[in-house]
Amino acid sequence: MSEAKYDLIVIGGGPGGYAAAIRAGQLGKKVACVEMERAGGTCLNWGCIPSKALLKSAELMASLQKAETFGITVGSVEYDFAKVIERSRGVADQMAKGIEFLFKKNKVDYIVANAQVTEAGAITLTEGDRKGESLKADNILIATGCRAKVLPFLPIQGERVMTSREALVMKKQPKSVAIIGSGAIGVEFAYFLNAFGTEVTILEILPQLVPVEDEEVAKVLERSFKKQKIHCELNIEIKEAKVGKNSVTIDYVKKGKPVKLEVESVIQAVGIQANLEGALAESVKLELDRGFIVVDGRYETNVKGIFAAGDIIGPPTLAHVATYEAIQAVNGMFGHSEPKRVTNFPGCTYCLPQIASTGITEQAAKEKGLDYKVGKFPFVASGKAVAANASDGFVKVISDPETGEILGAHIIGNDATELIAEFCLAMELEGTIDEIHHTIHAHPTLSEASAEAAAATGNEAIHI
């Protein structure tokens, strides 16, 4: 078997893996990236990117249906569901080609295969055209990410029972669907399918939608979904599910009463788990916590020379966090800069209305016994939001009453996922509520709501 020696081998080609490989290439290192499917990993090929393409189609559909509000008559609106799906796959393909180009540009050896770490400094390719080949490296970075969890009583079948992966390539639009789980993936698919007329029911065992988000945000989303005729069943317990030829029947309990729901299809969005299967030889004993790899402040595992970054090291399991961690790990291992661990990051959900947040929720502040102040500004008081017929939601900011330090920010509304960056930057720079308030924001813009929310902390907001 042939052998090759690298400065770094990255296992996994997702937002963590490809970023690590490219960054090492920028530093002039000899690097290989081993990806079992295609450059971009789950996020680019089966997650973030194709799902956003679907959601853009849903957003356009919703806008056309409301065209009369803007004085525009469009008549009957028709769509081709297969083309909607096809377009999303085309977007994913285009972006994957872009990553492959960046690999070439930065002289990264891109290998499509499964890989197993056999010892510190060595891997073996276990699948693909180069199966059995050994590769050597001074450093190995594991960035294999996560995969969807599946309920044990509801195995994935394809058309009837799906995870987000199968749903992204569904050949036929279901007339009715139950979505189990109301995190970001669950509510995004709920919005997408509902926009095209599928009857959607969300089943959530916890008492609120998007459980990691601020309680007030969740309540606004629930009200909005109700207006959109998305049925939300919260605080329920699923007892049983039966998959038939043409439907799935789910038995659950709500407020002590049994409920039976029959739908054409089910999408499971019940979380993710570490994707390490086959990645480590039995002799490689990495320290794990709930299946995730444990690393130190430099992203190094308990085995010298083996590093890990991204979802595989545990929450927050977000693509942009994975990219940050991977770049930090590479900069550190090659002495470019002292690596940092993640502290401040945005979380974004692309349903309608959009949700974005950073820092702690108000509930968390209460539970920690923190002294805090809240500033809140509704989009109904924003001229830009009203003009755009997108006045649902608000900006909410939590701060320290003594120093003005921003502890958290929570936005639900139009373009929330773009607006959150201002608060992330402010928190990174240890900015204060007053500095947001006294920064001149262009009028009319949605970003004015951020300044007004900051001003509302001290009862100085002008437009409420």
Encoded tokens for 70: 């803007």
d(CA 48, CA 318): 10
Rounded to 5 degrees, φ, ψ at 398 are -110, 130
Measured CA to CA, the distance from residue 55 to residue 196 in angstroms comes to 11
Alpha-carbon distances, residue 390 vs 69, 213, 412 (angstroms): 11, 21, 11
CA of 51: how far to CAs of 184, 186, 267, 283, in Å? Answer: 11, 11, 14, 39
Catalytic residue among 336, 410, 438, 443: 443
Tokens standing for 340?
Answer: 């940092």
Say which residue the tokens 């480590």 belong to: 280
Q: Is 443 a known active-site residue?
A: yes
451 touches 437 (CB < 8 A): yes
Amino acid code (one letter) for 316 = P
Catalytic residues: 443
